[in-house]
């Protein structure tokens, strides 16, 4: 029986509210005992004094690529990046090549996960066949494949009648729609945020309306069908306000945001170019502050990365041609702690909750907590550690990130996954 003893760390568990210095004894991949002074003569000891010990971080939105896009990322490389960044569970999107829209494809991908994943990986499957928004995918098959989130991430379902059918079916099957809110009919060629930067660069922009009109529609359909609607990577101040008001009327609505949208603004595009191109785009300071307020008042339910690795050739090019998205899963913790805890001075418990217990509840996982009998997935963090981001040190195949060269404070130094230790 393998045993591990994490000694003297500051244990912080949002689900129970526990915040104290304690030892954690792990046995056979599960938390066995939590005690101010635990002991076990035959356990491997890890000194966590002066460090923060939290539940293993959960990222509800990543792109692991593989299959025909293995040059961008593989399940092995993407989950190695997650492990390196203190993330022990990820949910991978269906816009692979080919798409994860049917039993055969999902089973093939699950086999790759079983053989190559270094952390827990859950599949988020497509709403429509080939993500074209024309015909619903095999939604009825998803529960038997342990799929609980569905999305056409990378785009939205424009056909409202079809989208309503998806919501209704999701309600009956116990699925949650993870909506990428975007009205394609509004500024379909938008490259960056619509405003001063798009004008300065002379490129088409994406107005906030492109996002919040889709949020508006999704809230309305969720209320009509009784389905759970989760809106991902919100970027616009109007979207946050719509979610805030909807939550006063129903418990069917949840949302998440990314570190790049609450840490960065559209101005970065002027210096980083295609490396800062993402969908939805980096927006204004007013939008950034609105997201932070949404985090502070509980409107936001989770923090995700939308980890979207690409080759450097696809990113370091003309802004119009550059691919949308960048690598971020291994930077989730320092980007979040640097902005929300160190700069905004949001309570540490509240920040950690958005990366652990909240996403665990949304996904109905047993993890995301530090309690006896829970999975032994833990993230150990040095809150005071400051490091400069160097894209060459990124473990993901996608080395591109707009955070390159920035100094961040609060880094993971050790990850415990299934009771085994991974050190940076």
The three-state secondary structure class of 338 is helix
CATH of the domain at 232: 3.20.20.140
For residue 46, give its domain range: 3-52+374-423
pLDDT in tens, 149-188: 999 988 899 999 999 999 999 999 999 999 999 999 999 9
Among 309, 338, 362, where does a domain finish? Answer: 362
Q: Where are the alpha helices (DSSP H) in 127-176?
A: 160-173
What integer pLDDT is reported at residue 424 of this predicted model?
Answer: 66
Per-residue HEC secondary structure of 299-333 comes to CCCEECCCECCCCHHHHCCCCCCCCCCCCCHHHHH
> Which secondary structure element, helix H or strand E, spans residue 383, and what is its range?
strand 378-388
Is the Cβ–Cβ distance between 106 and 125 less than 8 Å?
A: yes
The distance from CA 276 to its chain's CA centroid, rounded to whole angstroms, is: 18
Residue 351 has pLDDT above 90, yes or no: yes
Residue 1 has pLDDT above 60, yes or no: no
- Same domain, residue pair 183 and 297: yes
CA-to-CA separations, 214 to 136, 155, 231, 232, 238, in angstroms, rounded? 19, 11, 10, 12, 11
In a domain, 333, yes or no: yes
DSSP state of 340: I
Among 324, 340, 362, where does a domain finish? Answer: 362
Mean pLDDT, the chain, whole residue set = 96
- Same domain, residue pair 27 and 78: no
What integer pLDDT is reported at residue 154 of this predicted model?
Answer: 85
| pTM exceeds 0.75, yes or no | yes
What integer pLDDT is reported at residue 101 of this predicted model?
Answer: 97
Of how many residues is the chain composed? Answer: 424
In a domain, 253, yes or no: yes
In a domain, 282, yes or no: yes
Q: Where are the alpha helices (DSSP H) in 117-182?
A: 160-173
Tally helices (H) and strands (E) across the chain.
13, 18
- Give the pLDDT mean for 250-259: 98
CA quadruple 218, 219, 223, 227: dihedral, nearest 10: 50
Is the Cβ–Cβ distance between 80 and 88 less than 8 Å?
A: no
Beta bridge partners of residue 256, listed in sequence order:
302
In a domain, 156, yes or no: yes
Among 362, 386, 410, where does a domain finish? Answer: 362
CA 80/CA 95 separation, integer angstroms: 20
In a domain, 368, yes or no: no
Q: What are phi and psi of 153, to 5 degrees?
A: -50, 140
pLDDT in tens, 103-112: 999 999 999 9
pLDDT in tens, 294-324: 999 999 999 999 999 999 999 989 999 999 9
Sole residue written with tokens 């050790």: 414
Q: What are phi and psi of 262, to 5 degrees?
A: -100, 0
Confidence of residue 35 (pLDDT cuts 50, 70, 90): confident
Kindly give the pairing relationship between strand 378-388 and strand 52-55: antiparallel
In terms of phi and psi (left: phi > 0; alpha: psi -120 to 50; beta: otherwise), the region of 154 is left
Is the Cβ–Cβ distance between 36 and 8 less than 8 Å?
A: no
As to burial, measured by CB atoms within 10 angstroms (0-12 exposed, 13-18 middle, 19+ buried), residue 49 is exposed
- Give the pLDDT mean for 253-265: 98
In a domain, 276, yes or no: yes
pLDDT in tens, 75-93: 999 999 999 999 999 999 9
- Same domain, residue pair 265 and 402: no
Our answer to whether residue 256 is catalytic in this structure is no
- From the list 153, 306, 377, 404, the catalytic residue is 306
Structural tokens at position 338 = 């640097």
Complete DSSP assignment for 191-252 = -EETTHHHHHHT--EE-HHHHHHHHHHHHHHHHHHT-EEEE-S---HHHHHHHHHHHTT-SS
Structural tokens at position 285 = 């300071």
- Same domain, residue pair 411 and 331: no
- Same domain, residue pair 126 and 192: yes
What integer pLDDT is reported at residue 38 of this predicted model?
Answer: 65
- Same domain, residue pair 25 and 102: no
- Same domain, residue pair 132 and 43: no
Q: What percent of the chain has pLDDT over 90?
A: 95
Query: In the chain, how many domains are there?
Result: 2
Residue 327 has pLDDT above 60, yes or no: yes
CA-to-CA separations, 267 to 23, 196, 399, in angstroms, rounded? 45, 9, 21
CA 90/CA 250 separation, integer angstroms: 27
In a domain, 367, yes or no: no
In a domain, 358, yes or no: yes
- Same domain, residue pair 183 and 286: yes
- Same domain, residue pair 122 and 156: yes
Residue 406 has pLDDT above 80, yes or no: yes
- Same domain, residue pair 164 and 183: yes
- Same domain, residue pair 220 and 320: yes
- Same domain, residue pair 298 and 155: yes
CA 244/CA 294 separation, integer angstroms: 8
DSSP state of 69: B
């Amino acid at each position: 029986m393998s045993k591990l003893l994490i000694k003297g760390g500051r244990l912080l568990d949002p689900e129970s509210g526990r915040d104290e210095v304690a030892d954690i004894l792990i046995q056979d991949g599960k938390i066995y005992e939590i005690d101010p002074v635990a002991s076990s003569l035959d356990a491997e000891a890890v000194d966590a004094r002066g460090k923060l010990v939290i539940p293993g971080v959960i990222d509800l939105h990543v792109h692991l690529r593989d299959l025909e896009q293995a040059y961008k990322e593989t399940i092995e490389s993407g989950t190695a990046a997650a492990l390196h960044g203190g993330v022990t569970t990820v949910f991978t999107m269906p816009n692979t090549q080919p798409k994860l829209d049917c039993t055969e494809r999902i089973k093939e991908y699950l086999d790759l996960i079983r053989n190559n994943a270094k952390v827990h990986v859950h599949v988020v499957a497509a709403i429509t066949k080939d993500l074209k928004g024309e015909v619903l995918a095999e939604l009825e098959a998803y529960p038997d494949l342990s799929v609980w989130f569905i999305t056409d991430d990378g785009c939205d379902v424009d056909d409202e009648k079809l989208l309503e059918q998806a919501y209704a079916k999701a309600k009956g099957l116990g699925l949650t729609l993870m909506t990428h809110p975007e009205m394609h009919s509004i500024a379909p060629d938008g490259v960056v945020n619509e405003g001063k930067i798009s004008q300065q660069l002379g490129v088409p922009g994406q107005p906030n309306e492109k996002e919040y009109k889709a949020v508006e529609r999704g809230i309305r359909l969720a209320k009509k069908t009784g389905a759970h609607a989760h809106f991902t990577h919100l970027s616009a101040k109007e979207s946050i306000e719509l979610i805030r008001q909807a939550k006063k009327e129903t418990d069917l609505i949840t949302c998440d945001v990314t570190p790049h949208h609450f840490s960065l603004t559209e101005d970065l595009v002027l210096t980083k170019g295609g490396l800062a191109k993402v969908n939805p785009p980096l927006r204004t300071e007013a939008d950034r502050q609105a997201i932070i307020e949404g985090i502070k008042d509980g409107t936001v339910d989770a923090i995700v990365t939308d980890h979207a690795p690409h080759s450097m050739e696809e990113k370091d090019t003309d802004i119009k041609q550059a691919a949308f998205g960048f690598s971020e899963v291994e930077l989730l913790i320092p980007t979040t702690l640097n902005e929300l805890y160190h700069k905004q001075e949001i309570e540490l418990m509240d920040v950690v909750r958005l990366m652990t217990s909240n996403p665990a509840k949304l996904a109905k996982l047993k993890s995301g907590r530090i309690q006896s009998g829970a999975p032994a997935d833990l993230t150990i963090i040095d809150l005071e550690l400051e490091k400069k981001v160097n894209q060459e040190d990124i473990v993901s195949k996608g080395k591109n990130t707009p955070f390159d060269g920035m100094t961040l404070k609060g880094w993971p130094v050790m990850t415990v996954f299934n009771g085994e230790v991974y050190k940076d």
